[in-house]
Amino acid sequence: MDAGFFRGTSAEQDNRFSNKQKKLLKQLKFAECLDKKVDMTKVNLEVIKPWITQRVTEILGFEDDVVIEFIFNQLEEKHPDSKMMQINLTGFLNGKNAREFMKDLWPLLLSAQENIAGIPSAFLEQKKEEIKQRQIEQEKLASLKKVDEDKKEKDTRERAQSKSPRRRSPAKRERKHSPSRSPRRKPVSPVGGSSPPPPLMQLTTKSSEQLVEPDTSGRAVPEPVVQEASSTWFVKSLYLL
């Protein structure tokens, strides 16, 4: 018996497997971008691995390390076969999901090999947008912080003004400290003047005249000294007022 019977054969050597692959290549639909070759030496695979992990998790609904590592291993080759890769993933992701996955993955690889850093242009634009959004958020936070600081400073200034005594205006201070003007009194004219005496003085004089009655007895009548003196004192007191 030939010793080759006991030795295993690879998939390339097995005609049944090769025929099956040829049949799948004719039956399956492939995106047009898969016709282009990718040089993985120009691609930064470490940057694309997180995207592969996230995309496979979205398709399956959970993170499958076996499928993810299987994809990584196929991309380790210098020129991976895109169509064969889609055929190999069909058993894990089904035909439709495998086709959508390769349709999204291959343009990223083609874009990455065109850039010096080996990073897809879509990732660079996404990173720029993230940086821009971060700057906008920082500016908003700085603006809100400045508004809060201005408000606190204003409140502090208002509290300080409310505690300090209020200053009066110069006009109010002058009006407050100016001496009060007493109303002028009109001087009382003397008795011998041309103007008539006040009503009170006339009343007093008349009353004094009424008290002295004429004496018809012929005796000498003493002069009313007291009444005249009292009227004179009353006039002087009014003048002094």
For residue 52, the domain's CATH number is 1.20.1390.10
Q: Classify burial at 42, counting beta carbons within 10 Å of its beta carbon; exposed 0-12, middle 13-18, buried 19 or more.
A: middle
- Burial of residue 147, with CB atoms counted within 10 A of its CB: 0-12 exposed, 13-18 middle, 19 or more buried: exposed
Structure tokens at 222: 């003493």
Q: Do the Cβ atoms of 92 and 67 come closer than 8 Å?
A: yes
Query: What are the helix (H) ranges across the chain?
Result: 15-27, 45-60, 65-74, 82-93, 95-114, 121-163, 170-177, 199-211, 225-240
Residue 118, number of CB atoms within 10 A of its CB: 19
**pTM of the full predicted structure?**
0.52
Report the chain's mean pLDDT, rounded to a whole number. 75
Select the more confidently predicted residue: 3 or 163: 163
In one letter, which amino acid is 25? L
- The answer, yes or no, to whether residue 57 has pLDDT greater than 70, is yes
Render pLDDT for 3-39 as a digit per residue (tens, 0 to 9): 444 455 454 555 555 666 777 777 788 889 999 999 9
One domain, residues 68 and 107: yes
Q: What is the pLDDT of residue 169?
A: 55
Q: Are 37 and 71 contained in the same domain? A: yes
Q: State the pLDDT confidence band at 218, using cuts at 50, 70 and 90.
A: low
33 belongs to a structural domain: yes
Please tell me whether residues 114 and 130 are part of one structural domain: no
Weakest mean pLDDT among 139-143, 163-167, 215-219: 215-219
Which comes out higher in pLDDT, residue 114 or 174? 114
Q: Read off the pLDDT of residues 125-159 as tens digits, 9 standing for 90 and up.
A: 988 888 988 889 888 888 888 888 888 888 888 88
Q: What is the pLDDT of residue 206?
A: 47
- Report the alpha-carbon distance of residue 185 to residue 196 in Å, rounded: 18
Task: Say yes or no: 55 and 127 in one domain.
Answer: no
Alpha-carbon radius of gyration of the chain: 61
Regarding whether 126 and 114 lie in a shared domain, the answer is no
User: To the nearest whole percent, how much of the chain has pLDDT over 90?
Assistant: 35
Would you state the torsion angle of the CA atoms of residues 224, 229, 231, 232, taken in this order, to the nearest 10 degrees? 140
Per-residue DSSP letter, 219: P
My answer on whether 115 and 128 are in the same domain is no
Of 57, 143, 129, the residue nearest 97 (C-alpha): 57
pLDDT score recorded for residue 18: 60
Question: Is 136 or 175 the better-scoring residue by pLDDT?
Answer: 136
Checking if the pLDDT of 63 tops 50, the result is yes
Q: Is residue 100 part of a domain?
A: yes
Full domain range(s) for residue 42: 20-119
> Is the per-residue pLDDT at 107 higher than 70?
yes
113 and 129 share one domain = no
Q: Among 34, 53, 50, which residue's Cα sits nearest to residue 119?
A: 50
Q: Which of 112, 72, 110, 76 shows the shortest CA–CA distance to 89?
A: 72
Q: Which two tokens stand for residue 138?
A: 């920082």
Single out the residue in 98, 133, 161 at which a domain terminates. Answer: 161
Q: Which of 135, 161, 187 is the last residue of a domain?
A: 161
